[in-house]
Every structure is written in structure tokens, then in C-alpha cells.
Amino acid sequence: MKCWEGNEMDFTLYSETRFNCFHVCVAAALLRKNADTVPLFTQSGYLVTKIDDGVVINPYYKDIDQVIRERTYMNLETGRWNNKEDYKAAILEYLDENQSVIMEADLYYLPFSPYKEQLHANHCIELIGYKNKEFEYCDHYYNCHGMLSLQEMSQVIEYSMGSLLGGQLHTHYLRPRNLHNQTVNVPIALEQVLLDNVKAMLDQDMPSIPGSVRGLPAVSVTQDIIREIGQIGDPALRSKLLKRFADELREVSHTRYHLQRYLVSVGEQRLADAYAAAEQSWMVIANLIFKSYLSDYNSTYEERVLSRLERVLEQETYSITLIQALLGHSPGSSTQL
């Protein structure tokens, strides 16, 4: 079994706090392939979906595997496993090909987790090598790098499969579509990136999802959700919803940050500044909601959140207006506010 050699492993941990645990692993794996990740994280949507115990907020309108397929010469392949031995064998097979692999686990059972035996939650780490019956792992999200014995890994897999992950774990693995093609990124037009985001925020040519509101109207709906949470009499339920809400809005903020980085890279500073302002507002909202989760929820918090939501709606609308001006007479110029 090989350990890492060559130039693909010039780094171990990838430090980027504006990614969730899955996306930071994907970004690290892409960087090991010498990919430019900036053009791959440009989604800036907003989808609110009602579920049985509240709502889910999602800023992404494409899965990352679709983005990688469209914008690189690689595929992000996903394996689904409900047998611990098959899962472990798949991981070893990927590593034997001298490739990194992303695995899932329950935070509760990871020996190096800051939430070991405290919190059950789905988590992703990147495995980058195997030697002497030890796995080398990178937990980019929690900035942790080290080794797991074969026995420890077997226990992590077994316990994770039996806990909240529904008896099924996933592997994610980058595979080049053409081994002879040294080019990694597929050129992408700025106009297409802008048009995709306009359509997402104006809900044009987007799939219909029952119980969902998309784009700018969904930002207004978020104000109603905040008011509804404030009316919940059960403190435990209210705290649960506030915590999830804060986490999801933090992810929304991160997407604006990554789009802003891309816009700077292509010289669109004015539009980048507009998204940077929206990014900051979303983060302020997320932090306010999280503070209200930690303390007693009251009308003062609610008023501040509602005020900020009004502000971020203006900022998001302004960004779309700027995009429409940039698109000019392109095919996307028919999009209207």
C-alpha cells in the first residue's frame, strides 16, 4: 500500500473557514489535482423549504458534483455503502490508487473530534494515505491532521453506520475523465455565472419544489419565519430552530463570500463589493440569531434581525440589478426584477 509521493500532496491541511465540512474536503481534493477552485464555488442562491419541524435554507441550486463535471475535466464520484467491510475496502482501494478519498463519519465517534462523545452529527474528513495499518487523515474543518489505526477506523465506520447516518455511509472520490489530459479546469464564461445566479434569485427557469420559495421572495419569507419562531412557546424547540437557522444563514453568507472572490478574480470589483456587503449582512444576521439561541430570545433580537433582513434584501436586489446591467444585450438580459 502506497503512501503519498510526488507533487499532489504539497500540503496536508487546507485552511478555509468559509466552507462546510464537505466542501472544504472537496476543495482540498481539487487543489491536490492542481485545480483552480475559485471558479467552482460561485453559487449564490436562496431557497426556503418547509419541512415537518421547521424550514431548511439552501443557497445552492446545483450539486457540487454537477459543478465539477461542468467546470473541470474530472468527475466527483460518490459511493454508497451499508456494509462496514465494503466501505473500508473501497477506501483502501482508492488510497491504493494514490488518490485521496472523502469519507463520512459521526462526530461522536471520531477519536480526534472536538465533539467526541458529546454530539451526534454527520461529518466529512479527507483520507490521504495508508501505511503500516494506519490511515492518514485531514480534518480540514477542525484543522486537525493525524493517524487512525485500522482498528480505530473499523470502529468509527461500524459505530457511524449504526447511529444517525441511517446505516449508510458515502465515499467521494475525484476521477479524471481522461488520464492523458493534463488540463484540469474547463473555461467558464463570466456571463454564464452571472446568468445562473440571476435566474436563481429571480426564480426563472428553475425547478419547482413543493413547499419552497426561491430567490428574492424567499428573503421576505424569512422575515415571517423569524416572527413565527418568536411565537413558539416551547424554549427547547425554539432553541433548536434558532441554532439550525443560524447555521444555514452562515452558509448563505459563505456563498456570497466565494462568489465575491470569483468576481474579484475576473476584474468585476464593483459587483464583488456588492456581494461582499451582502455577505457581511448575512453573517450579522446569523450571529444575531445564534446569540438569541444562547440567551433568552426577546423582541430586541427579533427587531434587529428583521431590520437586517430588510437591509440584505436591498443588497441582494442591488446585486441582481448590477448583474442585469453587466449582461446588457446578452441572452440573459431578458431577466427582469
Predicted confidence pLDDT, tens digits, the chain (337 residues): 333 333 345 679 999 999 999 999 999 999 999 999 999 999 999 999 988 888 899 999 999 999 999 999 999 999 999 999 999 999 999 999 888 999 999 999 999 999 999 999 999 999 999 999 999 999 999 999 999 999 999 999 999 998 866 789 999 999 999 888 878 999 999 999 999 999 999 999 999 999 999 999 999 999 999 998 888 888 888 888 989 999 999 999 999 999 999 999 999 999 999 999 999 999 999 999 998 877 776 778 889 999 999 999 999 999 999 999 999 844 444 555 5
Predicted TM-score of the model (pTM): 0.92
Residue position matching grid coordinates 465540512? 21
pLDDT for position 131: 95
How many CA within 13 A on the CB side of residue 269? 0
What is the predicted pLDDT for the residue at 9? Answer: 54
Question: What single-letter amino acid sits at 272?
Answer: A
> What is 171-208 written as a DSSP string?
EEEEEES-TT----BPP--HHHHHHHHHHHHHT-S---
What pLDDT, on a 0 to 100 scale, did the predictor assign at position 331?
Answer: 42
Specify whether the CB–CB gap between 72 and 30 falls below 8 A: yes
DSSP state of 3: -
The pLDDT score that the predictor gives to residue 332 is 44
Residue ranges of domains in the chain, CATH in brackets: 21-34+73-176 (3.90.70), 190-334 (1.20.120)
Considering just the CA atoms, what is the radius of gyration of the chain in Å? 21
Q: What per-residue confidence (pLDDT) applies to 296?
A: 73
Q: How far apart are CA 119 and CA 317, in angstroms?
A: 38
* 3-state helix, strand and coil shares in percent for the chain, rounded to the nearest 5: 50, 20, 30
The pLDDT score that the predictor gives to residue 308 is 96
pLDDT at site 10: 65
Query: Cβ contacts of residue 276 below 8 Å, gap of 6+?
Result: 256, 257, 260
Give the DSSP letter of residue 39.
Answer: G
Give the C-alpha separation, 47 to 222, whole Å.
10
